[in-house]
Structure 1
Amino acid sequence: MSSPDGLPPLRAVMLEHGLDPKRGLGQNFLLDLNLTARIARQAHPLAGATIVEIGPGPGGLTRALLAEGADRVIAIEKDARCLPALKAIADHYPGRLEIIEADALTIDLAALAHAGPLKIVANLPYNVGTQLLLNWIATARWPPMWSSLTLMFQREVAERIVAAPGSDHYGRLGVLTGWRTRARILFDISREAFTPPPKVTSSVVHLLPIADPEPASLDALERVTAAAFGQRRKMLRQSLKPLGGEALLEAAEIDPRRRAETLTVSEFVRLANHIRSA
Protein backbone atom coordinates (compact mmCIF):
# COMPACT_ATOMS: atom_id res chain seq x y z
CA MET A 1 0.00 0.00 0.00
CA SER A 2 1.37 3.41 -0.94
CA SER A 3 1.06 6.72 0.94
CA PRO A 4 -0.75 9.83 -0.37
CA ASP A 5 2.42 10.94 -2.18
CA GLY A 6 2.61 7.64 -4.07
CA LEU A 7 5.66 6.38 -2.17
CA PRO A 8 5.69 3.38 0.20
CA PRO A 9 4.77 3.87 3.88
CA LEU A 10 7.77 4.86 5.98
CA ARG A 11 7.67 1.68 8.07
CA ALA A 12 7.95 -0.34 4.87
CA VAL A 13 10.87 1.83 3.78
CA MET A 14 12.63 1.23 7.09
CA LEU A 15 12.08 -2.52 6.79
CA GLU A 16 13.27 -2.65 3.18
CA HIS A 17 16.51 -0.82 3.90
CA GLY A 18 17.19 -2.11 7.41
CA LEU A 19 16.90 1.33 8.97
CA ASP A 20 16.85 0.52 12.66
CA PRO A 21 17.43 3.87 14.41
CA LYS A 22 20.90 4.20 15.92
CA ARG A 23 21.17 5.70 19.39
CA GLY A 24 24.73 6.82 18.65
CA LEU A 25 23.46 9.02 15.83
CA GLY A 26 20.65 10.47 17.91
CA GLN A 27 18.06 8.96 15.57
CA ASN A 28 14.36 9.02 16.44
CA PHE A 29 12.34 8.75 13.25
CA LEU A 30 9.03 10.57 12.85
CA LEU A 31 6.83 8.34 10.70
CA ASP A 32 3.49 10.16 10.82
CA LEU A 33 3.19 11.96 7.46
CA ASN A 34 0.47 14.21 8.86
CA LEU A 35 2.93 15.50 11.45
CA THR A 36 5.78 15.89 8.99
CA ALA A 37 3.44 17.86 6.71
CA ARG A 38 2.50 20.10 9.62
CA ILE A 39 6.18 20.82 10.28
CA ALA A 40 6.85 21.51 6.60
CA ARG A 41 4.00 24.01 6.45
CA GLN A 42 5.60 26.12 9.20
CA ALA A 43 8.35 27.09 6.74
CA HIS A 44 5.95 28.37 4.05
CA PRO A 45 6.34 29.70 1.48
CA LEU A 46 8.44 26.79 0.25
CA ALA A 47 8.18 27.49 -3.48
CA GLY A 48 11.20 29.35 -4.80
CA ALA A 49 13.28 28.65 -1.69
CA THR A 50 16.20 26.31 -1.16
CA ILE A 51 15.36 24.09 1.81
CA VAL A 52 18.15 22.42 3.77
CA GLU A 53 17.16 19.39 5.84
CA ILE A 54 19.52 17.86 8.39
CA GLY A 55 19.37 14.16 9.20
CA PRO A 56 16.40 13.12 7.03
CA GLY A 57 16.68 9.42 7.92
CA PRO A 58 14.10 7.45 5.90
CA GLY A 59 12.75 10.72 4.49
CA GLY A 60 9.45 11.47 6.20
CA LEU A 61 10.04 15.22 6.47
CA THR A 62 11.80 15.23 3.09
CA ARG A 63 8.68 13.84 1.45
CA ALA A 64 6.49 16.38 3.24
CA LEU A 65 8.64 19.31 2.12
CA LEU A 66 8.46 18.18 -1.50
CA ALA A 67 4.76 17.39 -1.35
CA GLU A 68 4.11 20.83 0.17
CA GLY A 69 5.73 22.51 -2.82
CA ALA A 70 9.45 22.92 -2.13
CA ASP A 71 11.23 23.44 -5.46
CA ARG A 72 14.64 22.43 -4.11
CA VAL A 73 15.53 20.41 -1.05
CA ILE A 74 19.09 19.62 0.01
CA ALA A 75 19.12 16.66 2.40
CA ILE A 76 22.29 16.24 4.47
CA GLU A 77 22.57 12.73 5.86
CA LYS A 78 25.49 11.21 7.76
CA ASP A 79 24.10 7.66 7.88
CA ALA A 80 24.91 5.90 4.59
CA ARG A 81 22.17 3.32 5.27
CA CYS A 82 19.54 6.02 4.56
CA LEU A 83 20.87 7.02 1.14
CA PRO A 84 18.98 4.41 -0.94
CA ALA A 85 15.67 5.43 0.66
CA LEU A 86 16.42 9.09 -0.08
CA LYS A 87 17.46 8.21 -3.63
CA ALA A 88 14.00 6.69 -4.19
CA ILE A 89 12.44 9.98 -3.12
CA ALA A 90 14.75 11.90 -5.46
CA ASP A 91 13.66 9.64 -8.33
CA HIS A 92 10.01 10.30 -7.45
CA TYR A 93 10.58 14.08 -7.53
CA PRO A 94 13.05 14.51 -10.43
CA GLY A 95 15.41 17.45 -10.13
CA ARG A 96 14.06 18.66 -6.79
CA LEU A 97 16.05 16.70 -4.19
CA GLU A 98 19.82 16.81 -3.77
CA ILE A 99 21.35 14.34 -1.31
CA ILE A 100 24.65 15.07 0.42
CA GLU A 101 26.32 12.38 2.50
CA ALA A 102 28.07 14.40 5.18
CA ASP A 103 28.17 15.41 8.83
CA ALA A 104 26.05 18.57 9.16
CA LEU A 105 28.51 19.93 11.72
CA THR A 106 31.07 20.29 8.92
CA ILE A 107 28.84 21.70 6.17
CA ASP A 108 29.50 25.22 4.85
CA LEU A 109 26.03 26.70 4.34
CA ALA A 110 27.41 29.45 2.12
CA ALA A 111 28.40 26.82 -0.42
CA LEU A 112 24.77 25.67 -0.64
CA ALA A 113 23.17 29.10 -1.05
CA HIS A 114 23.40 29.42 -4.82
CA ALA A 115 20.13 31.30 -5.30
CA GLY A 116 19.54 33.41 -2.22
CA PRO A 117 19.02 32.62 1.47
CA LEU A 118 18.29 29.13 2.69
CA LYS A 119 15.50 27.84 4.88
CA ILE A 120 16.61 25.13 7.28
CA VAL A 121 13.89 22.65 8.26
CA ALA A 122 14.86 19.64 10.33
CA ASN A 123 14.05 17.10 12.98
CA LEU A 124 17.51 17.55 14.43
CA PRO A 125 19.36 14.61 15.96
CA TYR A 126 19.15 15.15 19.71
CA ASN A 127 22.87 14.67 20.26
CA VAL A 128 23.97 17.57 17.98
CA GLY A 129 20.90 19.80 17.76
CA THR A 130 22.04 22.51 20.17
CA GLN A 131 25.52 22.68 18.65
CA LEU A 132 24.09 23.01 15.15
CA LEU A 133 21.84 25.86 16.27
CA LEU A 134 24.77 27.67 17.88
CA ASN A 135 26.80 27.21 14.71
CA TRP A 136 24.04 28.86 12.67
CA ILE A 137 23.54 31.74 15.11
CA ALA A 138 27.09 32.36 16.34
CA THR A 139 28.46 33.14 12.91
CA ALA A 140 30.65 36.06 11.88
CA ARG A 141 28.45 36.73 8.85
CA TRP A 142 25.20 38.53 9.67
CA PRO A 143 22.53 38.56 8.33
CA PRO A 144 23.16 34.83 7.94
CA MET A 145 22.84 32.56 4.92
CA TRP A 146 19.46 31.36 6.18
CA SER A 147 16.17 33.27 6.21
CA SER A 148 14.40 31.01 8.70
CA LEU A 149 14.96 27.96 10.90
CA THR A 150 12.16 25.48 11.59
CA LEU A 151 13.66 22.93 13.92
CA MET A 152 12.62 20.18 16.29
CA PHE A 153 14.31 19.86 19.69
CA GLN A 154 13.70 18.20 23.00
CA ARG A 155 11.13 20.32 24.86
CA GLU A 156 13.71 21.31 27.48
CA VAL A 157 16.08 22.66 24.82
CA ALA A 158 13.23 24.50 23.09
CA GLU A 159 12.35 26.20 26.37
CA ARG A 160 15.97 27.32 26.76
CA ILE A 161 15.96 28.76 23.22
CA VAL A 162 12.92 30.99 23.80
CA ALA A 163 13.46 31.70 27.52
CA ALA A 164 13.06 35.24 28.84
CA PRO A 165 15.01 36.85 31.71
CA GLY A 166 13.85 35.62 35.08
CA SER A 167 12.96 32.17 33.78
CA ASP A 168 14.61 29.03 35.14
CA HIS A 169 15.35 28.09 31.52
CA TYR A 170 17.10 31.40 30.72
CA GLY A 171 20.80 30.98 30.03
CA ARG A 172 23.56 31.36 27.48
CA LEU A 173 21.47 29.80 24.71
CA GLY A 174 18.54 32.13 25.36
CA VAL A 175 20.80 35.19 25.31
CA LEU A 176 22.43 34.28 22.02
CA THR A 177 19.15 33.40 20.30
CA GLY A 178 17.44 36.46 21.79
CA TRP A 179 20.25 38.70 20.59
CA ARG A 180 20.11 37.66 16.94
CA THR A 181 16.72 36.03 16.37
CA ARG A 182 13.05 36.08 17.17
CA ALA A 183 12.26 32.57 18.36
CA ARG A 184 8.99 30.93 19.34
CA ILE A 185 7.75 27.43 20.08
CA LEU A 186 5.09 26.41 17.57
CA PHE A 187 3.80 23.12 18.97
CA ASP A 188 4.81 19.97 20.81
CA ILE A 189 5.05 16.43 19.47
CA SER A 190 4.43 13.49 21.77
CA ARG A 191 7.22 11.00 22.33
CA GLU A 192 4.90 8.23 21.11
CA ALA A 193 4.98 9.69 17.60
CA PHE A 194 8.60 8.61 17.14
CA THR A 195 10.36 5.33 16.47
CA PRO A 196 11.84 4.58 18.93
CA PRO A 197 10.01 6.84 21.39
CA PRO A 198 12.47 9.23 23.07
CA LYS A 199 12.28 9.78 26.82
CA VAL A 200 10.92 13.32 26.44
CA THR A 201 8.41 15.42 24.51
CA SER A 202 9.71 17.28 21.46
CA SER A 203 8.91 20.81 20.31
CA VAL A 204 9.05 22.56 16.95
CA VAL A 205 10.74 25.96 17.14
CA HIS A 206 10.67 28.69 14.50
CA LEU A 207 13.48 31.28 14.39
CA LEU A 208 13.79 34.38 12.20
CA PRO A 209 17.01 36.41 12.05
CA ILE A 210 16.98 39.99 13.31
CA ALA A 211 18.42 42.02 10.45
CA ASP A 212 20.19 44.56 12.69
CA PRO A 213 20.84 43.11 16.15
CA GLU A 214 22.49 45.34 18.76
CA PRO A 215 26.19 45.67 17.85
CA ALA A 216 28.39 43.40 19.95
CA SER A 217 31.48 41.27 19.74
CA LEU A 218 30.31 37.69 19.42
CA ASP A 219 33.41 36.44 21.23
CA ALA A 220 32.90 38.88 24.11
CA LEU A 221 29.20 38.00 24.40
CA GLU A 222 30.00 34.29 24.55
CA ARG A 223 32.64 34.93 27.21
CA VAL A 224 30.41 37.01 29.44
CA THR A 225 27.43 34.66 29.20
CA ALA A 226 29.63 31.62 29.85
CA ALA A 227 31.08 33.25 32.97
CA ALA A 228 27.75 34.62 34.25
CA PHE A 229 25.73 31.44 33.82
CA GLY A 230 28.62 29.20 34.82
CA GLN A 231 27.91 30.39 38.37
CA ARG A 232 24.32 31.51 37.91
CA ARG A 233 23.42 31.33 41.62
CA LYS A 234 26.16 33.79 42.54
CA MET A 235 26.03 37.56 42.29
CA LEU A 236 27.54 38.94 39.10
CA ARG A 237 30.37 40.65 40.97
CA GLN A 238 31.58 37.14 41.84
CA SER A 239 30.74 35.21 38.66
CA LEU A 240 32.25 37.91 36.42
CA LYS A 241 35.37 38.38 38.53
CA PRO A 242 37.66 36.84 35.85
CA LEU A 243 36.37 39.43 33.35
CA GLY A 244 36.63 42.49 35.58
CA GLY A 245 34.06 41.93 38.30
CA GLU A 246 32.67 45.05 39.94
CA ALA A 247 34.69 47.41 37.74
CA LEU A 248 33.17 45.89 34.61
CA LEU A 249 29.65 45.98 36.05
CA GLU A 250 29.98 49.59 37.19
CA ALA A 251 31.26 50.62 33.76
CA ALA A 252 28.20 48.95 32.21
CA GLU A 253 25.93 50.55 34.86
CA ILE A 254 24.70 47.20 36.17
CA ASP A 255 24.19 46.49 39.87
CA PRO A 256 26.95 44.04 40.89
CA ARG A 257 24.54 42.34 43.32
CA ARG A 258 22.30 41.07 40.52
CA ARG A 259 22.41 37.50 39.21
CA ALA A 260 22.77 36.34 35.62
CA GLU A 261 19.17 35.24 35.09
CA THR A 262 17.89 38.80 35.82
CA LEU A 263 19.83 40.50 33.02
CA THR A 264 18.18 41.33 29.73
CA VAL A 265 19.81 40.53 26.40
CA SER A 266 20.59 44.25 25.98
CA GLU A 267 22.39 44.30 29.33
CA PHE A 268 24.51 41.31 28.34
CA VAL A 269 25.35 43.11 25.10
CA ARG A 270 26.39 46.17 27.12
CA LEU A 271 28.68 44.03 29.27
CA ALA A 272 30.18 42.41 26.18
CA ASN A 273 30.90 45.81 24.64
CA HIS A 274 32.64 46.98 27.80
CA ILE A 275 34.81 43.86 27.78
CA ARG A 276 35.75 44.61 24.18
CA SER A 277 36.61 48.24 24.96
CA ALA A 278 38.52 47.47 28.16
Structure 2
Amino acid sequence: MNDTLPPLREIIRKHDLRAKKSFGQNFLLDLNLTGKIARVAGNLDDSVVYEVGPGPGGLTRALLANGASRVVAVEMDERCLPALEEITNAFDNRLEIISGNALDINEPEAMKLNAQVTARIASNLPYNVGTLLFIKWLTLETWKPWYSSLTLMFQKEVAERIVAKPNTKAYGRLSVLAQWRGNVRIAMHVPAAAFTPPPKVDSAIIHYEPTEPIDPDVKLSDLELVVEKAFGQRRKMLRASLKSLPVDALKLLAMADIKETARAETLSVADFVKLAKTYRQLL
Protein backbone atom coordinates (compact mmCIF):
# COMPACT_ATOMS: atom_id res chain seq x y z
CA MET A 1 0.00 0.00 0.00
CA ASN A 2 1.23 3.51 -0.77
CA ASP A 3 3.01 4.99 2.27
CA THR A 4 2.13 8.58 1.42
CA LEU A 5 -1.56 8.03 2.18
CA PRO A 6 -2.87 8.27 5.75
CA PRO A 7 -5.11 5.56 7.28
CA LEU A 8 -8.69 5.57 6.06
CA ARG A 9 -10.06 6.61 9.46
CA GLU A 10 -7.99 9.80 9.20
CA ILE A 11 -9.30 10.38 5.67
CA ILE A 12 -12.87 9.98 6.90
CA ARG A 13 -12.32 12.40 9.79
CA LYS A 14 -10.56 14.92 7.58
CA HIS A 15 -13.36 15.01 5.00
CA ASP A 16 -16.23 14.33 7.44
CA LEU A 17 -17.33 11.26 5.48
CA ARG A 18 -20.02 9.76 7.65
CA ALA A 19 -21.73 6.99 5.71
CA LYS A 20 -25.19 7.89 4.44
CA LYS A 21 -28.07 5.42 4.16
CA SER A 22 -29.40 7.35 1.16
CA PHE A 23 -26.29 6.29 -0.78
CA GLY A 24 -26.37 2.70 0.54
CA GLN A 25 -22.94 3.32 2.07
CA ASN A 26 -21.00 1.02 4.39
CA PHE A 27 -17.27 1.73 4.33
CA LEU A 28 -14.51 -0.91 4.50
CA LEU A 29 -11.58 0.54 6.42
CA ASP A 30 -9.40 -2.56 6.88
CA LEU A 31 -6.77 -2.33 4.14
CA ASN A 32 -5.76 -5.96 4.69
CA LEU A 33 -9.33 -6.96 3.87
CA THR A 34 -9.59 -4.71 0.82
CA GLY A 35 -6.28 -6.18 -0.34
CA LYS A 36 -7.77 -9.69 -0.15
CA ILE A 37 -10.76 -8.55 -2.19
CA ALA A 38 -8.47 -7.03 -4.82
CA ARG A 39 -6.62 -10.33 -5.09
CA VAL A 40 -9.89 -12.20 -5.63
CA ALA A 41 -10.31 -10.08 -8.76
CA GLY A 42 -7.31 -11.91 -10.27
CA ASN A 43 -4.08 -10.74 -11.84
CA LEU A 44 -4.66 -7.01 -12.19
CA ASP A 45 -1.39 -6.26 -13.98
CA ASP A 46 -2.23 -4.11 -17.00
CA SER A 47 -5.99 -4.39 -16.26
CA VAL A 48 -8.35 -1.44 -16.26
CA VAL A 49 -10.71 -1.83 -13.31
CA TYR A 50 -14.15 -0.27 -13.05
CA GLU A 51 -15.31 0.47 -9.51
CA VAL A 52 -18.72 1.71 -8.37
CA GLY A 53 -19.16 3.56 -5.08
CA PRO A 54 -15.53 3.78 -3.89
CA GLY A 55 -16.44 6.04 -0.95
CA PRO A 56 -13.22 7.05 0.82
CA GLY A 57 -11.27 4.66 -1.42
CA GLY A 58 -10.29 1.61 0.63
CA LEU A 59 -10.80 -0.89 -2.20
CA THR A 60 -9.57 1.68 -4.73
CA ARG A 61 -6.21 1.87 -3.00
CA ALA A 62 -5.97 -1.94 -2.90
CA LEU A 63 -6.77 -2.29 -6.61
CA LEU A 64 -4.06 0.20 -7.54
CA ALA A 65 -1.55 -1.32 -5.12
CA ASN A 66 -2.22 -4.76 -6.62
CA GLY A 67 -1.22 -3.67 -10.10
CA ALA A 68 -4.23 -2.20 -11.89
CA SER A 69 -2.96 0.02 -14.68
CA ARG A 70 -6.00 2.26 -14.23
CA VAL A 71 -9.04 2.38 -11.98
CA VAL A 72 -12.12 4.21 -13.23
CA ALA A 73 -14.31 4.93 -10.22
CA VAL A 74 -17.88 6.24 -10.31
CA GLU A 75 -18.97 8.05 -7.16
CA MET A 76 -22.35 9.68 -6.59
CA ASP A 77 -21.47 11.24 -3.23
CA GLU A 78 -19.63 14.47 -3.95
CA ARG A 79 -18.29 14.58 -0.39
CA CYS A 80 -15.99 11.66 -1.30
CA LEU A 81 -14.39 13.32 -4.32
CA PRO A 82 -11.63 15.23 -2.44
CA ALA A 83 -10.59 12.01 -0.65
CA LEU A 84 -10.43 10.18 -3.98
CA GLU A 85 -8.37 13.02 -5.48
CA GLU A 86 -5.73 12.32 -2.83
CA ILE A 87 -5.51 8.74 -4.12
CA THR A 88 -5.20 9.99 -7.71
CA ASN A 89 -2.24 12.14 -6.69
CA ALA A 90 -0.60 9.37 -4.65
CA PHE A 91 -0.85 6.80 -7.45
CA ASP A 92 0.48 8.80 -10.39
CA ASN A 93 -2.95 9.70 -11.80
CA ARG A 94 -3.87 6.04 -12.37
CA LEU A 95 -7.27 6.75 -10.75
CA GLU A 96 -9.93 8.44 -12.86
CA ILE A 97 -12.98 9.67 -10.99
CA ILE A 98 -16.42 10.08 -12.52
CA SER A 99 -19.01 11.97 -10.49
CA GLY A 100 -22.42 10.51 -11.32
CA ASN A 101 -24.91 7.67 -11.14
CA ALA A 102 -23.46 4.30 -12.19
CA LEU A 103 -26.83 3.20 -13.56
CA ASP A 104 -26.48 5.86 -16.27
CA ILE A 105 -22.87 5.17 -17.26
CA ASN A 106 -21.79 3.66 -20.58
CA GLU A 107 -18.84 1.82 -19.07
CA PRO A 108 -16.76 0.97 -22.20
CA GLU A 109 -17.01 4.59 -23.31
CA ALA A 110 -16.15 5.96 -19.87
CA MET A 111 -13.20 3.57 -19.60
CA LYS A 112 -11.93 4.30 -23.12
CA LEU A 113 -11.66 0.58 -23.83
CA ASN A 114 -10.14 -1.05 -26.88
CA ALA A 115 -9.44 -4.63 -27.94
CA GLN A 116 -6.01 -4.62 -26.32
CA VAL A 117 -7.31 -3.74 -22.84
CA THR A 118 -8.39 -6.26 -20.20
CA ALA A 119 -11.28 -4.75 -18.26
CA ARG A 120 -12.57 -5.95 -14.91
CA ILE A 121 -15.25 -4.77 -12.52
CA ALA A 122 -14.49 -4.81 -8.80
CA SER A 123 -16.73 -3.06 -6.30
CA ASN A 124 -18.08 -2.95 -2.81
CA LEU A 125 -21.44 -2.16 -4.38
CA PRO A 126 -23.82 0.24 -2.62
CA TYR A 127 -26.56 -1.98 -1.23
CA ASN A 128 -29.36 0.08 -2.74
CA VAL A 129 -28.28 -0.41 -6.38
CA GLY A 130 -26.11 -3.52 -6.26
CA THR A 131 -28.61 -5.98 -7.74
CA LEU A 132 -29.70 -3.52 -10.45
CA LEU A 133 -26.10 -3.03 -11.56
CA PHE A 134 -25.37 -6.75 -11.52
CA ILE A 135 -28.40 -7.45 -13.73
CA LYS A 136 -27.30 -4.62 -16.05
CA TRP A 137 -23.90 -6.33 -16.50
CA LEU A 138 -25.43 -9.81 -16.87
CA THR A 139 -27.97 -8.82 -19.50
CA LEU A 140 -25.75 -7.23 -22.14
CA GLU A 141 -26.93 -8.22 -25.61
CA THR A 142 -23.37 -8.52 -26.95
CA TRP A 143 -21.56 -11.57 -25.53
CA LYS A 144 -18.81 -12.12 -24.54
CA PRO A 145 -19.04 -8.80 -22.74
CA TRP A 146 -16.56 -5.96 -22.48
CA TYR A 147 -15.37 -7.13 -19.04
CA SER A 148 -13.42 -10.30 -18.24
CA SER A 149 -14.63 -10.68 -14.64
CA LEU A 150 -16.86 -9.25 -11.92
CA THR A 151 -15.74 -9.20 -8.29
CA LEU A 152 -18.59 -7.77 -6.28
CA MET A 153 -19.72 -7.34 -2.70
CA PHE A 154 -23.34 -8.17 -1.93
CA GLN A 155 -25.42 -8.80 1.14
CA LYS A 156 -24.86 -12.47 1.99
CA GLU A 157 -28.46 -13.39 1.12
CA VAL A 158 -28.15 -11.86 -2.37
CA ALA A 159 -24.81 -13.60 -2.98
CA GLU A 160 -26.39 -16.92 -2.03
CA ARG A 161 -29.21 -16.32 -4.52
CA ILE A 162 -26.69 -15.65 -7.29
CA VAL A 163 -24.85 -18.96 -6.82
CA ALA A 164 -27.89 -21.06 -5.80
CA LYS A 165 -28.62 -24.42 -7.41
CA PRO A 166 -32.03 -25.93 -8.32
CA ASN A 167 -34.23 -27.36 -5.55
CA THR A 168 -33.12 -24.74 -3.04
CA LYS A 169 -35.08 -21.80 -1.62
CA ALA A 170 -32.44 -19.33 -2.80
CA TYR A 171 -32.62 -20.49 -6.45
CA GLY A 172 -34.40 -18.00 -8.68
CA ARG A 173 -34.16 -15.39 -11.39
CA LEU A 174 -30.72 -14.11 -10.32
CA SER A 175 -29.34 -17.66 -10.27
CA VAL A 176 -30.45 -18.38 -13.83
CA LEU A 177 -29.28 -15.06 -15.27
CA ALA A 178 -25.88 -15.44 -13.59
CA GLN A 179 -25.31 -19.06 -14.57
CA TRP A 180 -26.58 -19.50 -18.13
CA ARG A 181 -23.48 -17.87 -19.64
CA GLY A 182 -21.05 -17.51 -16.78
CA ASN A 183 -19.27 -19.25 -13.90
CA VAL A 184 -19.89 -17.74 -10.49
CA ARG A 185 -18.78 -18.56 -6.96
CA ILE A 186 -18.74 -17.04 -3.51
CA ALA A 187 -15.07 -16.17 -3.02
CA MET A 188 -15.15 -14.95 0.58
CA HIS A 189 -17.48 -13.91 3.37
CA VAL A 190 -17.28 -10.53 5.07
CA PRO A 191 -18.82 -10.08 8.54
CA ALA A 192 -20.94 -7.03 9.29
CA ALA A 193 -18.39 -5.93 11.90
CA ALA A 194 -15.85 -5.27 9.10
CA PHE A 195 -17.85 -2.23 7.95
CA THR A 196 -18.25 1.29 9.27
CA PRO A 197 -21.07 1.60 10.18
CA PRO A 198 -21.79 -2.14 10.48
CA PRO A 199 -24.89 -3.16 8.49
CA LYS A 200 -27.49 -5.49 9.99
CA VAL A 201 -26.39 -8.41 7.80
CA ASP A 202 -23.18 -10.12 6.75
CA SER A 203 -21.85 -9.76 3.22
CA ALA A 204 -20.07 -11.91 0.68
CA ILE A 205 -17.81 -11.42 -2.33
CA ILE A 206 -18.84 -13.16 -5.54
CA HIS A 207 -16.50 -13.69 -8.48
CA TYR A 208 -18.08 -14.08 -11.91
CA GLU A 209 -16.42 -14.94 -15.21
CA PRO A 210 -18.40 -14.90 -18.48
CA THR A 211 -18.45 -18.04 -20.62
CA GLU A 212 -20.10 -19.15 -23.83
CA PRO A 213 -23.90 -19.40 -23.37
CA ILE A 214 -25.44 -22.83 -22.80
CA ASP A 215 -27.17 -22.29 -26.17
CA PRO A 216 -25.97 -19.30 -28.24
CA ASP A 217 -29.22 -19.25 -30.25
CA VAL A 218 -31.40 -18.36 -27.27
CA LYS A 219 -32.57 -14.76 -27.14
CA LEU A 220 -31.84 -12.99 -23.88
CA SER A 221 -35.26 -11.31 -23.86
CA ASP A 222 -37.01 -14.70 -24.18
CA LEU A 223 -35.02 -16.17 -21.32
CA GLU A 224 -35.69 -13.16 -19.10
CA LEU A 225 -39.43 -13.35 -19.80
CA VAL A 226 -39.79 -17.09 -19.22
CA VAL A 227 -37.74 -16.95 -16.02
CA GLU A 228 -39.67 -13.92 -14.74
CA LYS A 229 -43.03 -15.63 -15.29
CA ALA A 230 -41.90 -18.95 -13.83
CA PHE A 231 -40.52 -17.46 -10.62
CA GLY A 232 -43.20 -14.76 -10.36
CA GLN A 233 -45.46 -17.43 -8.88
CA ARG A 234 -42.83 -19.91 -7.75
CA ARG A 235 -45.19 -21.95 -5.57
CA LYS A 236 -47.45 -22.72 -8.51
CA MET A 237 -46.93 -25.43 -11.06
CA LEU A 238 -45.45 -24.24 -14.34
CA ARG A 239 -48.70 -24.90 -16.20
CA ALA A 240 -50.19 -22.10 -14.08
CA SER A 241 -47.24 -19.74 -13.68
CA LEU A 242 -46.55 -19.68 -17.45
CA LYS A 243 -50.20 -19.13 -18.35
CA SER A 244 -49.73 -15.40 -18.89
CA LEU A 245 -47.22 -15.97 -21.72
CA PRO A 246 -48.61 -15.23 -25.22
CA VAL A 247 -48.30 -18.92 -26.14
CA ASP A 248 -50.06 -22.07 -24.95
CA ALA A 249 -48.30 -23.00 -21.70
CA LEU A 250 -49.13 -26.71 -21.94
CA LYS A 251 -47.86 -26.92 -25.51
CA LEU A 252 -44.71 -25.02 -24.54
CA LEU A 253 -43.96 -27.40 -21.69
CA ALA A 254 -44.70 -30.49 -23.78
CA MET A 255 -42.42 -29.36 -26.62
CA ALA A 256 -39.64 -28.57 -24.14
CA ASP A 257 -40.13 -31.98 -22.51
CA ILE A 258 -40.79 -30.46 -19.08
CA LYS A 259 -43.53 -31.75 -16.78
CA GLU A 260 -46.47 -29.38 -16.55
CA THR A 261 -46.69 -30.14 -12.81
CA ALA A 262 -43.06 -29.08 -12.18
CA ARG A 263 -42.29 -25.91 -10.26
CA ALA A 264 -39.75 -23.27 -11.26
CA GLU A 265 -37.22 -24.09 -8.54
CA THR A 266 -36.87 -27.68 -9.78
CA LEU A 267 -35.73 -26.70 -13.30
CA SER A 268 -32.05 -26.53 -14.17
CA VAL A 269 -30.57 -23.50 -15.91
CA ALA A 270 -30.39 -25.63 -19.08
CA ASP A 271 -34.14 -26.38 -18.72
CA PHE A 272 -34.92 -22.66 -18.67
CA VAL A 273 -32.74 -22.13 -21.74
CA LYS A 274 -34.67 -24.90 -23.51
CA LEU A 275 -37.99 -23.35 -22.45
CA ALA A 276 -36.92 -19.96 -23.79
CA LYS A 277 -35.82 -21.43 -27.12
CA THR A 278 -39.09 -23.36 -27.46
CA TYR A 279 -41.06 -20.23 -26.56
CA ARG A 280 -39.48 -18.41 -29.53
CA GLN A 281 -40.47 -21.26 -31.85
CA LEU A 282 -44.10 -20.96 -30.78
CA LEU A 283 -44.43 -17.23 -31.37
Range into which the TM-score falls when normalised by the shorter chain: over 0.9
Q: How does 1:202-241 map to 2 (within 5 A)?
A: 202-215=203-216, 216-241=218-243
Give the conservation status (yes or no) of the 8 Å contact 1:5–1:67: no
Secondary structure in structure 2 of the residue aligned to 1:223: helix
Q: How does 1:93-108 map to 2 (within 5 A)?
A: 93-108=91-106
Counterpart position of 1:264: 268
Q: How does 1:237-252 map to 2 (within 5 A)?
A: 237-243=239-245, 244-252=248-256
Give yes or no for the alignment of 1:16 onto 2:14: yes
Higher deviation after alignment, 65-74 or 113-122: 113-122
Secondary structure in structure 2 of the residue aligned to 1:136: helix
Q: CA 1:224–1:64 in 2, change beyond 3 Å: closer, same or farther?
A: same
Q: Tell me, in whole angstroms, the C-alpha distance in 1 between the residues paired with 2:214 and 2:38.
A: 27
Q: How does 1:50-199 map to 2 (within 5 A)?
A: 50-111=48-109, 112=111, 113-114=113-114, 115-199=116-200
The two structures, once aligned, show a CA RMSD in angstroms of 1.2
Q: Tell me, in whole angstroms, the C-alpha distance in 2 between the residues paired with 1:16 and 1:181.
A: 42
The residue identity in structure 2 corresponding to 1:277 is Q
Count the aligned residue pairs: 276
Q: Tell me, in whole angstroms, the C-alpha distance in 2 between the residues paired with 1:4 and 1:196.
A: 25
TM-score (normalizing by structure 2):
0.95
1:44 Cα deviation (Å)? 2.2
1:180 Cα deviation (Å)? 1.6
Give the conservation status (yes or no) of the 8 Å contact 1:36–1:60: yes
1:246 Cα deviation (Å)? 1.0
Q: Tell me, in whole angstroms, the C-alpha distance in 1 between the residues paired with 2:32 and 2:141.
A: 37
Give the conservation status (yes or no) of the 8 Å contact 1:66–1:73: yes
Secondary structure in structure 2 of the residue aligned to 1:19: coil
1:110 Cα deviation (Å)? 2.1
Deviations 1:220-264 (A, max 9, x none): 111111111011111100101112321110111111010000001
Give yes or no for the alignment of 1:255 onto 2:256: no
Q: Tell me, in whole angstroms, the C-alpha distance in 1 between the residues paired with 2:181 and 2:51.
A: 22
TM-score (normalizing by structure 1):
0.97
Structure 1: gaps of 5 or more residues: none
Deviations 1:80-119 (A, max 9, x none): 1100000000000113111111111111122122442410
1:60 Cα deviation (Å)? 0.3
Give the conservation status (yes or no) of the 8 Å contact 2:154–2:204: yes
Secondary structure in structure 1 of the residue aligned to 2:148: strand
Secondary structure in structure 2 of the residue aligned to 1:118: strand
1:6 Cα deviation (Å)? 2.8
Deviations 1:48-90 (A, max 9, x none): 1101111000000001111111111111111111000000000
Q: Tell me, in whole angstroms, the C-alpha distance in 2 between the residues paired with 1:35 and 1:201.
A: 14
Higher deviation after alignment, 110-119 or 262-271: 110-119
The residue identity in structure 2 corresponding to 1:218 is L
1:5 Cα deviation (Å)? 3.3
Secondary structure in structure 1 of the residue aligned to 2:140: coil
Q: CA 1:116–1:211 in 2, change beyond 3 Å: closer, same or farther?
A: farther
